[in-house]
Structure 1
Amino acid sequence: MAWVSRDLEAGERIVGAETLRGGITAEMRRLTIGSRDGGTRHLVLRTFVDPYYVERAEDLLHREADALTLLATTDVMAPALIAADPAAAHCEYPSLLMTHLEGRPVLDDEGLATRVPLLARQLVAIHALRPVEQPRDYAALTTADTVVVPEGADAQVWAAAIDVIRAPAPPYEGRFLHRDFQPGNVLFDMGSSVPTGTRISGVVDWAAASWGPADLDVAHCATNLALLHGPVWGQRFTEAYEKAGGALAATADERLYWLVRDALASSEEVSSVAQAWRDAGRTDLTTQAVEERLDAYVTDLMDARG
């Protein structure tokens, strides 16, 4: 609280805090800041407390701080950086303080056909950014030897999918990546000024911002949509991205590589992702249900390959 207070305006103080649910890597709190004249505003405090992420927090928070600094000069709607303590020099845990954006993630099936083109256009806009200083290269997040095959899945199909990512990564033209662009990190304006869920009010969680192929960001969002709403929505997002002007890998095999790589990476965190989605209100998404959708999605990708 003392660290946050250093960056408040004169006469302001913290008058409340609310935990924001749905995150996996960090604890998120919305702080209510009161002023002498009785007005209030909100800030968001991001804190890494899990030992696994605390070890990686310095890199992640430096990345996020750099990304938010870059985004402040663009049209991409993102929080504004206020302060960062990546090494926990002042706080109990590594932390980052930023402005609060209105809106909320929408994970429901209703209205999805309207949101998917908005998500695609937003991602195209992110990939169009050309930072003066290129961020570090993307991390692959999985290997052929760490994939977790769901119980009851077709072993032959999954073995073929794993073989796809044993090959070297295809050549690509680098783009600025969010690296965790998916419905849980996109806020929609739910106010009365626009029809519900028809305007994106912000994109959050830039801790993994990096440089790499646009296909990887597209694949990640496609996987999340497939697990949240059914396998067909993964393909529809890829199509929506291209329709919005996004450029993907030149060949079908190159595109498949990135789609399969991200889908297989999700196999290692099905339980934690499913829990986060249930915490956010999707109580139907049990670990088994998400595993079944993942299996169906991987099967669809491999079937399309022929």
Structure 2
Amino acid sequence: MTDHDEATAVRPLTLAWVSRHLEAGERIVKTEALHGGNTAEMRRLTIAAQDGSTRDLVLRTFVDVERADDWLNREADALTLLTGTGVPAPGLVAVDPAAAHCEYPSLLMTHLAGRPVLDDEGLETRVPVLARQLLAIHAVRPAERPREYVTLTTADTVVTPKGADAAAWAAAIDVIRAPAPRYEGRFLHRDFQPGNVLFDVLPPRPAGARITGVVDWAATSWGPADLDVAHCSTILALLHGPAWGLRFPEAYEEAGGVLAAAANERLYWRVRDGLACSEEVQQVAQPWRQAGRTDLTMRTVEERLDAYVTSLMDALG
């Protein structure tokens, strides 16, 4: 956390814009860089009122990111939509998607308590909690649907890890050459995974954590529940081992969620997401190492991805 005299870490025009959205008499007294994001600069701003009380806001800034206005408009729409739904998302304060007032496209939102939990300890308890939270997100029925989901890989762009099971990967790539299965649409987070979920963790009881917030709604979409489940499954497999990637869909169904009935349809969505991660292993793993998971080297993550994709092909292929 930095002191106010170092608040120039937030660019001058952006500081002025934030200040215009504060209550009368409030001022920024501290700023803190938040780590873990892949595409945006994240800062926590501590705001002090004249009576001495404080509150926190979060500033999200996209620097040199293509289609930043699209990402921020989608996030702003999602935060507005989720107000009052019971889904613990930040509240929208202001958005400047075209950088009309700030140096770069920016969004200002309320700060939620808690933190992401990436450790293995307590995972057996957290996985069902994650599944129930994702089910609640899928239960949201927006008056106006967000845009249709976008696929993140093609059969021609998959990067097979060095030393991977070539036959399993070739078979997996063939799976996503087929047309996408028909599906019943749901409101999707589209990047629901442990890094975007905040937990209130009591030090003596890490296994008893409860969710205090879900963040990063910039990729909100309309599509199959299987796709959100598949993404969280892939990330769990890379963070904690392939078995946890296979466990998450079971937890989602145990919570009352409905996934594709046919095994080949389930395989399609899970393989598609696993293969998409093959193209960005470094980007995925780097924030985890910054957060303390130094054991998750690029090689370790690649090996887990290979094992997960192979497990999918063995179990469902």
TM-score (norm 2): 0.94
- Tell me the residue number matched to 2:53: 39
- Please tell me the residue identity of whatever aligns with 1:113: E
Q: Hey, what's the Cα distance between the residues in 1 that align with 2:279 and 2:292?
A: 22
- Tell me the residue number matched to 2:251: 240
Secondary structure (helix, strand or coil) at the match of 2:100 reads coil
**Do the aligned residues in 2 keep the contact of 1:106 with 1:197 (CA within 8 Å)?**
no
- Please tell me the residue identity of whatever aligns with 1:302: M
Are 1:21 and 2:54 counterparts?
no
CA 1:267–1:195: 2 relative to 1, 3 Å: closer
Structure 1 residue 88, shift from structure 2 partner: 0.7
- Please tell me the residue identity of whatever aligns with 2:299: Q
Report % sequence identity: 77
Secondary structure (helix, strand or coil) at the match of 2:150 reads coil
Secondary structure (helix, strand or coil) at the match of 1:15 reads strand
- Please tell me the residue identity of whatever aligns with 2:39: T
Structure 1 residue 73, shift from structure 2 partner: 2.3
- Tell me the residue number matched to 1:262: 273
Contiguous gaps of at least 5 residues in structure 2: 1-14
Secondary structure (helix, strand or coil) at the match of 1:121 reads helix
Q: Hey, what's the Cα distance between the residues in 2 that align with 1:123 and 1:305?
A: 23
- Tell me the residue number matched to 1:101: 112
Structure 1 residue 195, shift from structure 2 partner: 6.1
Q: Hey, what's the Cα distance between the residues in 2 that align with 1:197 and 1:275?
A: 27
- Please tell me the residue identity of whatever aligns with 1:14: I
Q: Hey, what's the Cα distance between the residues in 1 that align with 2:202 and 2:111?
A: 16
Secondary structure (helix, strand or coil) at the match of 1:14 reads strand
Q: Hey, what's the Cα distance between the residues in 1 that align with 2:31 and 2:291?
A: 18
Q: How does 1:149-228 map to 2 (within 5 A)?
A: 149-191=160-202, 197-228=208-239
Deviation readout 1:108-133 (Å, 9 max, x if unpaired): 00000000000000000000110001
Deviation readout 1:81-125 (Å, 9 max, x if unpaired): 000011111111111000000000000000000000000000000
Q: Hey, what's the Cα distance between the residues in 1 that align with 2:98 and 2:84?
A: 26
Structure 1 residue 232, shift from structure 2 partner: 0.3
Aligned residues: 303
Q: Hey, what's the Cα distance between the residues in 2 that align with 1:112 and 1:170?
A: 31
**Do the aligned residues in 1 keep the contact of 2:44 with 2:111 (CA within 8 Å)?**
yes
Structure 1 residue 191, shift from structure 2 partner: 4.4
CA 1:179–1:5: 2 relative to 1, 3 Å: same
Structure 1 residue 264, shift from structure 2 partner: 0.2
CA 1:102–1:197: 2 relative to 1, 3 Å: farther
Pairwise CA RMSD of aligned residues? 1.2
Q: Hey, what's the Cα distance between the residues in 2 that align with 1:221 and 1:265?
A: 13
**Do the aligned residues in 2 keep the contact of 1:57 with 1:94 (CA within 8 Å)?**
yes
